[in-house]
């Protein structure tokens, strides 16, 4: 278990500049965390390079991006994308007998999933085949990247990959009951996690969310050694999640979204960075605050801990920038709702006695309970309902502020991170928001 190690000081400017190379190891989506980091790399004048996970044809074949898809992706990234599919995981990879894990899930009904028994020999064969497919594609990707990275350039590899829910129809209704179910429709996350379906998800999450960071480090070894030998610096960053300190009753307090089933894979990611660090490799996992992105959309309630960021902005100094963000948030709320009502509702949830049990850092990640889950979902729903327009909400406004600030913090800290695992909590994120907005006003 990693010790809680928050970043408490704003970083000094990193040394990246023109001629240096930023490599995004994952795809870029409109509201995802990676945007903040890509913006920083662009601002520093770095050459930006990216990869694609590829696309699946209707018959399951994995293919590179088409010419049009590639042009759109490169335009949005602002750099060249190596068009060799790097989809991680193994849900659609065949075993020796030709069946995939997704095929095995096909016959399972959403009312009989608890007793489903999977063929684990076939799953292990699929896993191995997925790893071989991924690493062989990665080897080709690294060959192309090698040609694009000049000697003595500083290189920043940013790992964003997370996921691994097998693509099978049965899983969505089951997971919806785990993450969003109440009353009769609630399924405890532990019942799911200890079932064969849960075991398959655990292996798949490890593969996509954690092991891809190891492959990135391993397969870029030649680039790392060449660049280092010519005087350049190579850094690796990854986005983690391991709870986050936010303001509860006016004090910063570590809390977490529950049930975070990716938590075990995220701890494995931390171990990968720590092991690399021991070998002298500059690899750091940055544990980030909860925000709303494509990937977090399934987890209703994860966004509640985002609201106290507004209070953190005031606590860390306030001023015109904090007022501007508060005003923008207030304008998104219904006419009869004050921002303070939203903050009070978030605080009431975060300080509820039910949370105490989930606040033990050493037992993270914990499974949900019916009581905790129904409180979280009811509170989340009530707060979302305070927004005037469900498509334009306070969480989106705050998420943008967080991913921009986190991008800045990770970018500059990665130059001399000092540790393989760091937490970016609301205190440092709020201070960064205030500092960067003030800087842009000068």
Residues that bind ligand NAD (CB under 6 A): 26-27, 29, 32-34, 53, 87-89, 160-163, 208, 239, 241, 288, 290-291, 293-296, 302
How far apart are alpha carbons 276 and 330 in whole angstroms?
45
Please identify, using beta-carbon distances, which residue of 26 and 181 lies nearer to ligand NAD.
26
Q: Residue 34 CB, nearest distance to ligand NAD (Å)?
A: 6
User: Which structure tokens are listed for 92?
Assistant: 């659609």
160-185 b/e (C-beta count within 10 Å ≥ 16 → b): bbbbbbbebebbeebbebbbbbeeee
Q: Residue 256 CB, nearest distance to ligand NAD (Å)?
A: 11
Please identify, using beta-carbon distances, which residue of 220 and 296 lies nearer to ligand NAD.
296
Nearest position to ligand NAD, beta carbon: 32
Q: Residue 122 CB, nearest distance to ligand NAD (Å)?
A: 20
Please identify, using beta-carbon distances, which residue of 66 and 294 lies nearer to ligand NAD.
294
Q: Residue 407 CB, nearest distance to ligand NAD (Å)?
A: 11
Q: Which residue has the tokens 């996921």?
A: 163
Beta bridge partners of 252: 247
Please identify, using beta-carbon distances, which residue of 208 and 339 lies nearer to ligand NAD.
208
Please identify, using beta-carbon distances, which residue of 89 and 308 lies nearer to ligand NAD.
89
Q: How far is CA 166 from CA 170, 211, 355, in A?
A: 10, 16, 31
Residue 338: CB atoms within 10 A of its CB come to: 11
Please identify, using beta-carbon distances, which residue of 159 and 233 lies nearer to ligand NAD.
159
CA dihedral 396, 401, 406, 409 (to 10 degrees): 180
Q: Where are the beta strands (DSSP E) in 101-192?
A: 155-159
Q: Residue 240 CB, nearest distance to ligand NAD (Å)?
A: 6
Q: How far is CA 39 from CA 45, 70, 125, 408, in A?
A: 10, 20, 40, 9
Q: Residue 286 CB, nearest distance to ligand NAD (Å)?
A: 8
Residue 384: CB atoms within 10 A of its CB come to: 16
How far apart are alpha carbons 34 and 267 in whole angstroms?
20
Please identify, using beta-carbon distances, which residue of 228 and 298 lies nearer to ligand NAD.
298
Closest CA to 155 of 414, 410, 406: 414
Q: Residue 259 CB, nearest distance to ligand NAD (Å)?
A: 14
How far apart are alpha carbons 325 and 317 in whole angstroms?
13
Please identify, using beta-carbon distances, which residue of 11 and 89 lies nearer to ligand NAD.
89
Q: Residue 164 CB, nearest distance to ligand NAD (Å)?
A: 6
């Amino acid at each position: 278990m990693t010790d809680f190690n928050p970043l408490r000081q704003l970083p000094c400017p990193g040394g990246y500049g023109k001629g240096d190379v930023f490599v995004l190891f994952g795809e870029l989506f409109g509201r995802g965390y990676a945007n903040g980091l890509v913006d920083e790399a662009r601002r520093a004048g770095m050459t930006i390079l990216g990869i694609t996970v590829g696309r699946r044809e209707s018959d399951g074949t994995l293919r590179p991006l088409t010419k049009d898809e590639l042009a759109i992706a490169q335009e949005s990234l602002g750099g060249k994308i190596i068009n060799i599919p790097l989809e991680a995981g193994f849900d659609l990879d065949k075993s020796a007998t030709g069946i995939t894990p997704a095929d095995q899930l096909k016959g399972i009904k959403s009312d009989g999933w608890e007793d489903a028994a999977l063929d684990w020999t076939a799953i292990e064969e699929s896993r191995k085949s997925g790893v071989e497919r991924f690493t062989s594609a990665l080897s080709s990707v690294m060959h192309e990247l090698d040609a694009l990275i000049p000697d003595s350039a500083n290189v920043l590899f940013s790992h964003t990959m997370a996921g691994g829910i097998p693509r099978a129809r049965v899983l969505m209704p089951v997971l919806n009951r785990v993450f969003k179910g109440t009353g009769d429709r609630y399924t405890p996350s532990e019942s799911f996690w200890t079932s064969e379906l849960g075991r398959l998800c655990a292996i798949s999450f490890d593969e996509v969310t954690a092991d891809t960071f190891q492959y990135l480090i391993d397969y870029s070894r030649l680039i790392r050694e060449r660049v280092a030998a010519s005087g350049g610096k190579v850094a690796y960053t990854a986005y983690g999640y391991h709870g986050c300190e936010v303001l509860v009753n006016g004090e910063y307090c570590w809390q977490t979204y529950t049930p975070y089933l990716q938590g075990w894979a995220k701890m494995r990611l931390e171990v990968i960075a720590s092991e690399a660090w021991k070998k002298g490799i500059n690899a750091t996992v940055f544990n980030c605050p909860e925000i709303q992105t494509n990937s977090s959309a399934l987890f209703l309630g994860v966004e509640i801990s985002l609201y106290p960021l507004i209070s953190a902005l005031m606590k860390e100094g306030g001023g015109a920038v904090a007022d501007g963000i508060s005003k923008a948030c207030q304008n998104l709320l219904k006419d009869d709702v004050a921002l303070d009502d939203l903050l009070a509702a978030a605080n009431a949830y975060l300080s509820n006695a039910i949370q105490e049990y989930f606040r033990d850092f050493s037992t993270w990640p914990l499974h949900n309970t019916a009581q905790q889950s129904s409180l979280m979902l009811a509170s989340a729903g009530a707060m979302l309902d305070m927004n005037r327009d469900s498509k334009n909400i306070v969480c989106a406004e705050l998420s943008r502020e967080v991913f921009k600030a986190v991008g800045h913090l990770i970018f500059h800290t990665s130059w001399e991170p000092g540790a393989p695992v760091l937490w970016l909590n609301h205190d440092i994120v709020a201070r960064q928001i205030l500092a960067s907005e003030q800087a842009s006003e000068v």
